[in-house]
Amino acid sequence: MAVASQFIWQNIFHQYKPCDRRNYQQVKPFINVFNASKVAYTDSSEIYFSANYLEKCPTRYLRREFTGIMYREMARVWQWNGDGQANPGLVDGIANYVRMKANLAPVGQSTKPRCGGRWDQGGDVTARFLDYCDSMRKGFVADLNMKMKYSYSDNYFQQLLGKSVNQVWRQYKKKYNRG
C-alpha cells in the first residue's frame, strides 16, 4: 500500500507534500464477501476487496489483479472528488487511469482509445480519455485532481486545456476513429 501511495503521489497526482494530500493517517484493507458484483470499493480510508471476486480469479493472475485493484482503490483514497460534486464517472476514470499508468490493467482487458459513448462513462473509457488529455498537457490529471480539492466544474477542462470537455471529447473521438 505504501508503494502504491508513493506511485500515486509522485507520478500521477504530484502531491509531493502531505498538505497537498487527503489527511489520512492510515489506510485499512479488508477482504469481505459481497453479494454485489463489485470487485472492490473504498469508503474514506478503508478499502474493501471482494473475496468472491478474488476466489474466482485464476491463480496465475491473482497477484497482478490484486495489485491492480489495490492501486485503483488507493487512487480513490487519495484523489479529490470536488467535495462530492465531481461526476462519479470521472472519479472512477481517474482511479482506472492510475491503474493503467501503473501497467496493472486487468489481464485480457484492453479498451481501445476510441471506445465509449461519453467522456464521463467511467472505467477504462474515461481513463483512456484522461490519458489523451494528459498528452495535450503534461500533468493534466494532477492539475485536474488538485482543482477538484474543494469543488468540481466541467469548466476545469476549459481552464486547463483551452477547450470545453465536449470539444476535447470530439477531438479525441475524431483522432481515434480514423481506423
DSSP state of 29: E
Give the per-residue pLDDT at 179: 45
What 3-state class would DSSP assign to 133?
helix
* Whole-number Å distance between alpha carbons of 66 and 40: 10
Give me the chain's average pLDDT, please. Answer: 93
Tally of domains within the chain: 1
40: enclosing H helix or E strand: strand 40-43
C-alpha dist (Å) from residue 82 to 79, 85, 113, 148, 150? 9, 5, 26, 4, 5
Assess contact for 26 and 45: CB atoms under 8 A.
yes
Give the per-residue pLDDT at 34: 83
Average pLDDT per run of 10 along the chain, which is 179 residues long? 96 95 94 86 95 91 95 97 95 96 81 80 93 97 97 98 97 81
In terms of residue numbers, what domain contains 125? Answer: 2-176
Burial class (CB within 10 angstroms; exposed 0-12, middle 13-18, buried 19+) of 10:
exposed
Give the per-residue pLDDT at 178: 58
